[in-house]
Structure 1
Amino acid sequence: MIISIDSDLILRPLQSRDAEELYQLTDSCRAYLREWLPWVDGTQSVEHSSGFIQHCLNQQASNNGFNAGIWFKGELAGCIGFHPINWANHYASIGYWLGEGFQGQGIMKRACRELVSYSFNELGLNRVEIRCGVENFKSRAIPEKLGFTQEGQIRDAAWLYDHYIDLIVYGMLKREWRYRGEEE
């Protein structure tokens, strides 16, 4: 499945052939990504990126959501996708990251907006969550700009290399979602 957002931006499931490019993107902005993402130190080779891609393909094959590369002007800019979908309760959590050089162009906001719409309109989910580090203001800006409700703070919710961080939980319900394809 490919989600074409506009002429510059598409979401496409990662394939084995993308491992080198994914690793290079991760490696090129390792210090930047490491500030908020706990998996960066464990990504030390193309093989690690290949393993992540295989995990994503398995997740999609088991109907448990998908993870996609964010392709901006033909170049891999980052990733977005679902943590495992809770089908019994019709909700999912979305995770995302963007390479440092792609920041400030509205890429992640557009990608998240499309994935949330897909969640409600195609998957039939009722709820989508996004969790962000309390002090990760760039990441928090995404759900805030998309109209998510800040529902609370979970203390010591994530281990980040040598310390715990608190997470803010944002939620969106299908009945609250207003975006249907129109630009703001």
Structure 2
Amino acid sequence: MFEYKIDEEISLKLVELKDAERVFKLTDRSRDYLREWLPWLDSTTSIEDTKGFIKSSLKSFAGNESLTTFILYKGEIVGTAGYNRIDWTNNIAYIGYWLGEDYQGNGIMTRVVKALTDYAFHDLGLQKVDIRAAVQNKKSRSIPERLGFVNEGCIRQAEWLYDHYVDHVVYGMLAKDWNNK
């Protein structure tokens, strides 16, 4: 099982079915908050839906296609983060993340994304990390900006969110630039 300690407060652990109820409750408590930027909230209406997500994530992990983790903050699951996709042909990891509403403002996600970026370059030997966020999602965009990722441009109508399209800003970090920081 994958576990990664970031600091005294935060660690990442591979998703597990035994955590489905806890994660569903976190999702449900933060539903309105998360729905603004995540397209899957309306189709996650039960613990069974969360179990399906976990099973799919574990299958992708076993196939070496992705890595989805639960974020532990002071021992409590507070969100998810990981590589939504790992492109081994081009050596690129695509980071995705969300955090429960009650845990915002503690620097959790910045530390998590920094650790995932370190892991991608130093442990997996990848050459690039990519993060995409809706243009208007200032909180999500602030994380790669804070970590020195380069704004590589905008993809128009990149994602359908319930009743409208949103454009995405693409942020990239190269291993050589990360290591020179």
TM range (shorter): over 0.9
What amino acid does structure 1 have at the position aligned with 2:102?
G
Which residue is 2:83 aligned to? 82
Matched positions, count? 180
Counterparts of 1:32 and 1:178, CA distance in 2: 35
Query: Could you tell me how far 1:178 is from its partner in structure 2?
Result: 3.8
CA distance in 1, matches of 2:123, 2:64: 13
- Displaced runs of 4+ in structure 1, greater than 4 A? none
CA distance in 1, matches of 2:105, 2:179: 24
Which residue of structure 2 aligns with residue 43 of structure 1? 44
Query: For residues 44-84 of structure 1, what are the alpha-carbon distances to aligned partners after superposition, in whole Å with 9 as ceiling and x for unaligned?
Result: 00000000011111111111131000010111110001122
Aligned counterparts, 1:1-184, within 5 A: 1-178=2-179
Q: Secondary structure at the match of 1:93?
A: strand
Distance 1:133 1:15 in 2: 29
Task: Report the 3-state secondary structure (helix = DSSP H, G, I; strand = E; otherwise coil) of the residue aligned with 2:109.
Answer: helix
| Structure 2 CA distance for aligned equivalents of residues 60 and 130 of structure 1 | 19
> Which whole-Å CA distance do the structure 2 matches of 1:9 and 1:85 have between them?
23
Is this contact kept in 2: 1:153–1:167, CA < 8 A? yes
Q: Is the 8 A contact 1:128 1:172 kept in 2?
A: yes
Deviations 1:14-56 (A, max 9, x none): 1010000010000001000000000011100000000001111
**Which consecutive unaligned segments of at least 5 residues does structure 2 have?**
none
* Cα RMSD, aligned residues only: 1.1
Aligned counterparts of 2:168 and 2:59: Cα–Cα separation in 1:
28
CA deviation after TM superposition for structure 1 residue 179, in Å: 8.1
Unaligned runs of 5+ in 1: none
Residue identity matched to 1:162: D
**Contact 1:117 1:179 (8 Å CA) reproduced:** no
